[in-house]
């Protein structure tokens, strides 16, 4: 392949790379020799944002720790698609034990390392929303409360996708899942249910809590780096669209994340010791439809009778925009 002329462009920090940036400002992902901690050959579905986010998170953590990183993984898609014996797509030392115990296993690792005088080696735990918000909540909460030196990352695809798309307590209202079918008078997931793991984490007043999406790599990398510079329990909640569970195109995983943020549906925030410290403002405001319409799980919202549900989504976006000042004072 011949060398072609490659110009600089004004993509700022929005694109992965961008040669206008100083080396220090470049994303980990833009480096040809990035760790690729979750490497090729894994069996995630096409367009899996969880696979993408996991590589981003872990690569950043690997760089931030100079390769001194150990990972504990909950059962779930991420684990299944990456480690079907005899293959593993992971490069760092990695352990999977159970669905509900990633946080506790991570505590065990951290305790062991501390006892061995190896505080230079850091621990990252990760799981899906089911393993975090539902079945693993007790262990996560325990790890938070003890302020163990663990970064816990939840890849939230809003349901039990590994088992065939059932509802979790992270499934949003109206969403169709295999256990909240889009039939009857109130199709999809019930209104008024579910939990905010970010708020739960904040309530533990741990040193650092943040949310992020795959729509903003720099933001995500920044948050992982920030987290790795802190000792104690830290929590990162990453929204990861699931083409299978959401009924979206595999190519839309990033754009849906973008729409989730730009519509106000998914606030991207940072908190320290229980206090909200930063909020990512909406750059180009999007209507909630931009987020909802491409997803088959919300198709019933766009059929007769779906207006109420749609209205509730708008209200949710408005509430978030108000609560987190997502427009930064702009109208």
Partner 1 sequence: MREVLEGSQAVARTVARCRPGVVCAYPISPQTHIVEALSVMARTGELSACEYVNVESEFSAMSVSIGASAAGSRAYTATASQGLLYMAEAVYNAAGMGLPIVMTVANRAVGAPINIWNDHSDAMAMRDAGWLQLYAADNQEAADLHVIAFAAAEELGIPAMVCMDGFVLTHATDVLELATQEQIDAFLPPYSPAQALDIENPSTIGTMAGPESFTETKYLQHLRFLDAAGVIEAWSERFRKAFGREAGGLVARYDPDTLDRDGDAPPASAEDLAVVAMGSVVGTLQATLAPMRAEGLPVRLVGIGAYRPFPREALKAALGDSRHIVVVDRALELGAGGVLTGDVGRALAHTGSRIHSVVAGLGGRPILEASLRDAVRRALADELPALDFLDLKAGGVPEPPVGATEVAR
Partner 2 sequence: MSDHDAPPTLGLSTGPATSLAYHTGAWRTERPVYVDLAPPCSLACPSGEDIRAWLGSTQEGEAGFEAAWRQIVAANPLPAVMGRICYHPCQAACNRGEVDEEVGINAVERFLGDTAIARGWALPEPGASSGRRVLVVGSGPAGLSAAYHLRRRGHEVVVREAAAQPGGMMRYGIPAYRLPRDVLAAEIRRIEATGVRIECGARVESLDEAQAEFDAVVLTVGAGVAHHVDIPAGAAAKIVDAIDVLRDVASGHAPLLGRRVAVYGGGNTAMDAARTARRLGAQDAVVVYRRTREQMPAHPTELEDAVGEGVRVQWLSTISEVSGPTVTIERMELDEDGRPRGTGEFEELDADTVMLAVGQEADLSLLAGVTDVEVRDGVIAVDPGTLMTGRDGVFAAGDASPGSRTATFAIGRGARAAAAVDAWLASRVLPAEPVLREATADRLTPWYYSDAPQQHRAELEAARRVTGFEEVLTGLDAEHAVFEARRCMSCGSCFECDNCFGMCPDDAIRKLGPGMRYEIDYDYCKGCGICAAECPCGAIDMIPEVR
Site residues for partner 1 per CB under 8 A: 67-70, 72-73, 79-80, 83-88, 90-98, 100-101, 103-117, 121, 138-139, 141-142, 145-146
Q: Which of residues 90-129 bind partner 2 (CB under 8 A)?
A: 90-92, 94
Interacting residue with partner 2 among 253, 263, 280, 320 (CB under 8 A): 253
Min. distance of Cβ 71 from partner 1 in angstroms?
A: 8
The distance of closest approach from Cβ of residue 9 to partner 2 in the complex, given in angstroms and rounded to an integer, is 5
Of the residues 66, 86, 184, 329, which one makes contact with partner 2 according to CB under 8 A: 86
- Taking the CA of residue 75 as centre, how many other CA atoms within 13 Å lie in the half-sphere pointing to its CB? 11
Burial 78-104 (b: 16+ CB within 10 A, else e): bbebbbeeeeebbbbebbbbebbbbbb
Q: How many residues bind partner 2 (CB under 8 A)?
A: 60
Task: Decide: helix, strand or coil at residue 279.
Answer: strand
Beta bridge partners of 213: 239
DSSP structural state of residue 3: -
Choose the one of partner 2, partner 1, none that binds residue 17, judging by a C-beta under 5 to 8 angstroms depending on kind: partner 2
Residue 249 CB, shortest distance to partner 2, in Å, is 7
**Residues in 273-292 that interact with partner 2 by CB under 8 A:** 284
Nearer residue to partner 2 within complex by CB, 64 or 209: 64
In terms of Cβ atoms closer than 10 Å to its own Cβ (0-12, 13-18, 19+), residue 249 is middle
**By the rule CB under 8 A, 85 interacts with partner 2:** yes
How many other CB atoms sit within 10 Å of the CB of residue 193?
Answer: 12
Instruction: Decide which of partner 1, partner 2, none touches 144; Cβ closer than 5 to 8 Å per partner kind.
Output: none
Judged by beta carbon, residue 70 or residue 310, the one nearer partner 1 is: 70
- Least CB distance from residue 113 to partner 2, whole Å? 19
Write down the least CB distance from residue 107 to partner 1, Å.
5
Do residues 217 and 27 lie in contact, with contact meaning Cβ atoms separated by under 8 Å? yes
Pick what 121 binds: partner 2, partner 1, none; C-beta below 5 to 8 Å, kind-dependent. Answer: partner 1
Encoded one letter per residue, x for contact with partner 2 by CB under 8 A and - for no contact, window 28-67 reads: -xx-x---x-xxxxxxx-xxxx-xx--x------------
CA distance 131 to 139: 10
CB of 179 to partner 2, least distance (A): 27
- To partner 2, the closest distance from the beta carbon of 202 in angstroms equals 29
Residue 294 touches which of partner 2, partner 1, none (Cβ within 5-8 Å per kind)? none
Q: Which is nearer to partner 2, 44 or 233 (CB)?
A: 44
Q: Write the CA distances from 255 to 112, 144, 252, 260, integer angstroms.
A: 41, 32, 5, 9
Longest dimension (CA), the chain: 63
Buried b (16+ CB within 10 A) or exposed e, 61-72: bbbbbeebbbbb
C-alpha separations of 51 from 120, 135, 196, 242, 266 in Å? 27, 21, 22, 10, 20
Q: What's the alpha-carbon Rg for the chain, to the nearest Å?
A: 19
- Residues interacting with partner 2, by CB under 8 A? 1, 3-12, 14-20, 27, 29-30, 32, 36, 38-44, 46-49, 51-52, 55, 82-83, 85-92, 94, 214, 217, 243, 249-255, 258, 284
């Amino acid at each position: 392949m011949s060398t072609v002329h490659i110009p600089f462009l004004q993509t700022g920090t929005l694109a992965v790379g961008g040669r206008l940036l100083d080396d220090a400002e470049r994303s980990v992902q833009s480096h040809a020799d990035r760790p690729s901690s979750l490497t090729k050959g894994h069996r995630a579905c096409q367009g899996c944002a969880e696979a993408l986010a996991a590589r981003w998170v872990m690569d950043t953590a690997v760089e931030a720790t100079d390769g001194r990183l150990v990972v504990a993984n909950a059962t779930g898609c991420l684990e299944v698609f990456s480690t079907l014996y005899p293959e593993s797509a992971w490069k760092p030392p990695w352990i999977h034990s159970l669905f509900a115990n990633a946080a506790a296993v991570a505590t065990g690792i951290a305790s062991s390392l501390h006892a061995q005088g190896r505080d230079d080696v850091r621990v990252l735990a990760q799981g899906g929303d089911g393993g975090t918000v539902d079945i693993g909540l007790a262990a996560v909460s325990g790890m938070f409360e003890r302020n163990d030196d663990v970064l816990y990352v939840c890849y939230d695809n809003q349901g039990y996708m590994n088992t065939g798309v059932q509802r979790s307590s992270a499934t949003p209202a109206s969403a169709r899942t295999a256990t909240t079918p889009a039939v009857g008078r109130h199709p999809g997931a019930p209104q008024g249910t579910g939990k905010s793991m970010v708020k739960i984490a904040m309530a533990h007043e741990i040193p650092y809590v943040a949310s992020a999406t795959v729509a903003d790599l720099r933001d995500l990398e920044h948050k992982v780096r920030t987290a790795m510079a802190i000792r104690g329990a830290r929590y990162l909640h990453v929204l990861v669209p699931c083409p299978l569970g959401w009924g979206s195109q595999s190519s839309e995983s990033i754009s849906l994340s973008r729409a989730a943020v730009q519509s106000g549906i998914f606030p991207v925030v940072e908190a320290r010791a229980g206090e909200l410290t930063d909020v990512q403002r909406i750059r180009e405001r999007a209507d909630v439809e931009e987020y909802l319409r491409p997803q088959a799980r919300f198709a019933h919202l766009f059929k007769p009778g779906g207006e109420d549900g749609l209205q509730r989504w708008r209200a949710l976006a408005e509430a978030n925009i108000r609560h987190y000042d997502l427009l930064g004072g702009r109208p």
